[in-house]
């Protein structure tokens, strides 16, 4: 039975030619980039070249980019850095729809003297600039101006797209003369390849990326930080001491190639129309079952507030895990929420949107990618109809 993969938000299909080419290059660059000999220098040059290629796509200077082991690590470093600041306390304003890679370090900061304020999205799953400005103003008025604001760019469960530049502006305006101490972190892991990413235009202080969401390998992430940060790990001083450990040269080369292939504004634009067509087919097909509730319910095909690549849909009365398993038996891979949180039954993102618990527990995520075909969509919908006839 041909498998149909609709879990791209968990991890994308690997771009095999891109990975093979990166591997071939890195095999000849076996020196340690920290070594002074010719082999080491060649590896260092290749690493810096990869960084410069990533910087060109993301619109920032290369020296503001740090290779990490994952998107999770790239989210953790700027947050946990606060623990090592001269005065490790203060207010954090964090959206309630963040991935565990942001949520969990914020919870940890909360245990260690920081005060976390969770900013709920609207029922549409979108964090509004007005709500953020109100929260920042309230914190300033109470004499505890926020040290950090964290809002993700694209939500991994609903596909909701945030207006990052206006969120950044709203937070800084509301902070007034305390704006300089405010750091804005953006988890952009799901944004690359789905929306154009230009960090300079966004105005964020730090941002996290991950290669395996765009055809690159697992185990390599990228942190953007325009301000100095305190390291979490100590070691050999690699990545300017912020992320010590011998560099993953293969991963860095492959990440640069994946960003150039999938992450540019042009690449996003070129693949968008087909993705929108498939989104419309998915939304039409699930509506035709008569049993689907799209989350959020206001979402329509082609709505620019959501990426077409991620659809969250509930089938009331059917536990999500049962449907995921039944679809799997039919050859279709979908998921419930975030792969990183699938061990728990909690659905904090949906709950923050005000989705009723019963509905949230019957919600699955259908996520497609650049190489998903119309035939894959037809097979998904046929499998879904077969499953629903039995459940
Ligand atoms: C929004 C978001 N942030 C962070 C991550 C973590 O990235 P990684 O798997 O590279 O640790 C993910 C992965 O699912 C994600 O979807």
pLDDT profile of the chain (391 residues), mean per 10: 96 98 98 98 98 98 98 98 94 98 98 97 98 98 96 98 98 95 97 96 97 98 97 96 97 98 98 98 98 97 98 97 97 82 75 96 97 98 97 89
- pLDDT (tens digit, 9 = 90+) per residue, 285-301? 999 999 999 999 999 99
- pLDDT (tens digit, 9 = 90+) per residue, 178-200? 999 999 999 999 999 999 999 99
Q: Report the predicted TM-score, pTM, of the whole model to 2 decimal places.
A: 0.97
> Tell me, what's the pLDDT at 151?
98
Q: Is 64 in the pocket of ligand 1 (CB under 6 A)?
A: no
> Tell me, what's the pLDDT at 339?
56
Question: Active-site residue among 54, 186, 340, 387?
Answer: 340
> Tell me, what's the pLDDT at 342?
52
Output the CA torsion 286→288→290→292 (10° steps).
10
Q: Is 340 in the pocket of ligand 1 (CB under 6 A)?
A: yes
> Tell me, what's the pLDDT at 346?
84
Q: Which atom of ligand 1 is nearest to the CA of 212?
A: 10
Ligand 1 atom 7, closest CA? 71
> Tell me, what's the pLDDT at 136?
98
């Amino acid at each position: 039975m041909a498998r149909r993969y609709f879990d791209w938000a968990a991890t994308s299909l690997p771009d095999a030619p891109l990975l093979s080419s990166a591997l071939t290059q890195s095999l000849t660059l076996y020196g340690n980039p920290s070594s002074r000999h010719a082999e080491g220098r060649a590896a260092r040059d290749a690493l810096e070249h990869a960084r410069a290629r990533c910087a060109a796509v993301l619109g920032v200077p290369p020296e503001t980019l740090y290779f990490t082991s994952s998107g999770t690590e790239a989210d953790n470093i700027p947050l946990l850095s606060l623990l090592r600041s001269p005065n490790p306390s203060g207010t954090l304003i964090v959206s309630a729809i963040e991935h565990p890679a942001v949520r969990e370090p914020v919870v940890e900061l909360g245990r260690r003297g920081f005060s976390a304020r969770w900013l709920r999205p609207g029922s549409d799953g979108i964090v509004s600039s007005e709500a953020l400005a109100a929260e920042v103003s309230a914190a300033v008025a109470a004499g505890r101006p926020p040290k950090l604001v964290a809002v993700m760019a694209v939500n991994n469960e609903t596909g909701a797209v945030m207006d990052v530049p206006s969120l950044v502006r709203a937070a800084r305006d509301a902070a007034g003369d305390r704006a300089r101490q405010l750091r804005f972190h953006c988890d952009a892991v799901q944004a690359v390849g789905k929306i154009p990413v230009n960090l300079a235009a966004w105005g964020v202080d730090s941002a996290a990326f991950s290669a395996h969401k765009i055809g690159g390998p697992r185990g390599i992430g990228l942190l953007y930080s325009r301000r100095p940060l305190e390291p979490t790990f100590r070691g050999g001083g690699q990545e300017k001491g912020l992320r010590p450990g011998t560099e993953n040269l293969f991963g860095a080369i492959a990440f640069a190639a994946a960003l150039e292939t999938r992450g540019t504004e042009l690449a996003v634009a070129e693949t968008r129309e087909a993705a929108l067509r498939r989104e419309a087919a998915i939304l039409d097909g699930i509506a035709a079952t008569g049993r689907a509730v799209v989350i959020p319910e206001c979402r329509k095909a082609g709505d620019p507030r959501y990426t077409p690549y991620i659809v969250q849909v509930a089938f009331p009365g059917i536990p999500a895990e049962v449907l995921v398993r039944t679809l799997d038996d039919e050859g279709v891979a979908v998921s419930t929420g975030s792969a990183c949180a699938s061990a728990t039954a909690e659905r904090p993102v949906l709950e923050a949107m005000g989705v009723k618990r019963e509905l949230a527990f019957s919600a699955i995520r259908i996520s497609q990618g650049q190489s998903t075909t119309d035939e894959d969509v037809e097979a998904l919908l046929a499998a879904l109809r077969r499953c629903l006839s039995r459940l």
